[in-house]
Amino acid sequence: MKFLIPPIIFLLAVTASCGDKHNELLVEAESFREKGGWLVDPQFTEQMGSPYLLAHGLGNPVEDASTSITIPATGKYHIWVRTKNWAAGDWEAPGRFKLAVNGNEIESILGTGDETWYWQYAGKIPIKGPAVKIELKDLTGFEGRCDAIYLSTKKTEPPAGKDELSSWRKKLHGEAEIPEKSAEFDLVIAGGGIAGCAAAIAAAEQGLQVAIVHDRPVLGGNASSEIRVHTEGITWKSDRIISMLNTVWWPNGSPEAAKDDTKRHTNMARYDNIKIFLNWRAYTANTTDGIITSIDARQTATGERMRFSAPLFSDCTGDGWIGYWAGAGYMYGREDSATYNENWAEHGELWSPAEADNKVMGSSVLWRTYDAGIPVSFPDVPWAMDVAGDYSATTGTWKWEFSRNDLHQIEDAEYIRDHMLKAIYGSFSNAKKKAENVNLGLEWVGYLVGKRESRRLKGDYIYTFNDEKNMTEFPDAVAMETRTVDVHYQQIEADSTKPDFLSEALYYKVDHYFIPYRSLYSENIGNLFMAGRCFSCSHVGLGGPRVMHTTGQMGVAVGYAASLCKKYNTSPRGIYENHIDELRELIY
């Protein structure tokens, strides 16, 4: 296996235009040569338009980010910064930062405007070129964010609308419709979590040339050291492969997750026919007559683009992005209890509602503290208290989870993440007021949302709670689980005095249940597999098999099925119709 990592010399997205007798440059923040303590955050690209730099310092200002650009001509330049005040209110904005040009700080404090992404005017300054150094200077350590910097000799604010901004960016960057690079494989997998990695190994061991397109610097998804959820469930017939990828048990949020990252990457590196594209985020799927011909992806820091072509694709993104872009049928939200007859009278609306809604299981942001042995200060966080209230805590477990009927776990993911950060910082601030916590400091707070549920792609079979309850023995069973079916709800739904950022689980005990192969390929996109939490199931049906050992089993089944598709020149559905026994023999 080869890890394809972007070149050391990052290409700045800088353009100039002189057609209307003015000079302009657009600098994408994520492409800064030196990131300092700022982090590249690409997880909301589809909603706000781009990866951006995030100053995630747990209340301590992070090291400056810097880069060098070349301006087209000396002159006086107006400067705008695309940013966001993520907690606007009657207080100082938490994510404040400043911009410095050639070592001179611009007076304006940035990140102080609206609670939406917008172009904040920084000022007009004389710039002598051609070489210019730009620096981002964090002032707080509380999630300052910078998407891009625009310099122009003409005072014309850049466009704000999503589509208009996208077109404007492409024009300034001279971006063609077709990516600059391309590559062909037997199987392209989008998403490098446990399911995606398991699919890659299974396919590679059968001789396929495999690509994994993954938008993070490490593999593992929710199990990675960036999110830190330990793997659960059973490995069943796929133990050999899943054991190369899973975690040992550690408390959620533990730094021990880094050791499992190392194991995972070491084992993936054994396969020369797996190519992993770290920090590449897919952004579209190209289709012809219900068949995906390729997916396009962008390097999250440099902006370099690449087209991945293959006869087969597997959506392991969790959010079902490949299927969504390709036009696959999908589901979102909780079905009404009559749709699949999934009601559990004892728990009523908390389990399955009388009317369909959007209260899916929520996203978590984990966190932990440490005892320094000496007093540790923590700044006031008035901007967090409307969420935290008087709740006090010193660590975050799986119960730190947020979902609401009016929020979409994909489209509103940045709001959800920020809401959880307010809950964490506010609750810890309350805890710090107690004498017994004077020596505690924040050791780690996640900034990536750990999702449980969002889009679920439709397959030939929609898996439901009845399949778990009845322990349905499918003729095409390819995965098996024994864990209790658990469905989450927000505690505030049962008790209005509880904070809105804590969840609880309802547990239905069952001996075992199977997952059918028909739930692992799309009903209407002819060459698309799916493995992971975006497999074909109802909301309650997801309650059991959504954990990573089970989704890893799905990945193994998909990888083996892909190899049979190549062997017999057939489709994923063709494997069910004509070769299901051979697939089960590979698994069993």
Beta bridge partners of 54: 39, 145
Among 127-131, 371-375, 571-575, the range scoring the smallest mean pLDDT is 127-131
CA 5, 549, 410, 116 dihedral sign is negative
Q: Domain of 404?
A: 363-445
In this structure, the answer to whether residues 407 and 542 fall within a common structural domain is: no
In this structure, the answer to whether residues 308 and 429 fall within a common structural domain is: no
- Residue 273 counted as domain residue: yes
Q: Above 50 in pLDDT, residue 2?
A: no
- Residue 412 counted as domain residue: yes
Extract the tokens encoding 272. Answer: 């020369």
Query: What confidence tens digit (pLDDT) does each residue in 89-98 have?
Result: 999 999 999 9
Under DSSP, the state recorded for 79 is E
Q: Please give the share of the chain, as a percent, with pLDDT higher than 70.
A: 97
CA angle 12, 16, 19 (to 5 degrees): 160
CA–CA separation, 467 and 470 (whole Å): 5
Query: What confidence tens digit (pLDDT) does each residue in 443-496 have?
Result: 999 999 999 999 999 999 999 999 999 999 999 999 999 999 999 999 999 999
In this structure, the answer to whether residues 72 and 221 fall within a common structural domain is: no
Extract the tokens encoding 138. Answer: 């964090």
In this structure, the answer to whether residues 6 and 140 fall within a common structural domain is: yes
| CB contact at 8 A, 405 and 357 | yes
In this structure, the answer to whether residues 283 and 369 fall within a common structural domain is: no
In this structure, the answer to whether residues 66 and 157 fall within a common structural domain is: yes
What is the arithmetic mean of pLDDT over 186-195?
Answer: 98
What is the arithmetic mean of pLDDT over 256-265?
Answer: 98
Q: Above 90 in pLDDT, residue 14?
A: no
> How distant is the alpha carbon of residue 574 from its chain centre?
32
Q: Above 70 in pLDDT, residue 110?
A: yes
Can you spell out the DSSP letters for 403-463?
--TT--TTTTHHHHHHHHHHHHHHHHHHHHTSGGGTTEEEEEE--S-B-S---EE-BSS-B
Q: Above 70 in pLDDT, residue 499?
A: yes
pLDDT of residue 129: 78
Q: Above 50 in pLDDT, residue 177?
A: yes
CA–CA separation, 546 and 535 (whole Å): 9
Beta bridge partners of 125: 77
138, 173, 208: which is the final residue of a domain?
173
CA gyration radius for the chain? 24
What average pLDDT does the chain have?
A: 95
Query: What confidence tens digit (pLDDT) does each residue in 380-434 have?
Result: 999 999 999 999 999 999 999 999 999 999 999 999 999 999 999 999 999 999 9
What's the number of domains the chain is made of? 3
Q: Which residues contact 195 (CB under 8 A, 6 or more apart)?
A: 221, 316, 531, 532, 548, 551, 552, 554, 555, 558
21 — pLDDT class (breaks 50, 70, 90): confident
- Residue 235 counted as domain residue: yes
173, 203, 233: which is the final residue of a domain?
173
CA–CA separation, 109 and 527 (whole Å): 51
Residue length, the chain?
588
State the pTM of this model: 0.96
Q: Which stretch of DSSP H or E encloses residue 248? A: none
pLDDT of residue 585: 98
* Amino acid in the structure at residue 483: R
CATH number at residue 72: 2.60.120.260
In this structure, the answer to whether residues 576 and 466 fall within a common structural domain is: yes
In this structure, the answer to whether residues 212 and 317 fall within a common structural domain is: yes
What is the arithmetic mean of pLDDT over 562-577?
Answer: 98
In this structure, the answer to whether residues 465 and 435 fall within a common structural domain is: no
pLDDT of residue 87: 98
Q: Above 50 in pLDDT, residue 554?
A: yes
- Residue 21 counted as domain residue: yes
- Residue 417 counted as domain residue: yes
CATH number at residue 247: 3.50.50.60
Q: Above 70 in pLDDT, residue 17?
A: no
Q: Which stretch of DSSP H or E encloses residue 109? A: none
Query: What confidence tens digit (pLDDT) does each residue in 52-104 have?
Result: 999 999 999 999 999 999 998 999 999 999 999 999 999 999 999 999 999 99
In this structure, the answer to whether residues 435 and 537 fall within a common structural domain is: no
- Residue 455 counted as domain residue: no
In this structure, the answer to whether residues 97 and 165 fall within a common structural domain is: yes
What is the arithmetic mean of pLDDT over 279-297?
Answer: 98
pLDDT of residue 20: 56
In this structure, the answer to whether residues 168 and 197 fall within a common structural domain is: no
Q: Above 70 in pLDDT, residue 215?
A: yes
Can you spell out the DSSP letters for 475-516?
TTEEEEE-SPEEEEEEGGGT-TTS-TTBEEEEEE--S-EEEE
157, 173, 189: which is the final residue of a domain?
173
- Residue 452 counted as domain residue: no
- Residue 193 counted as domain residue: yes
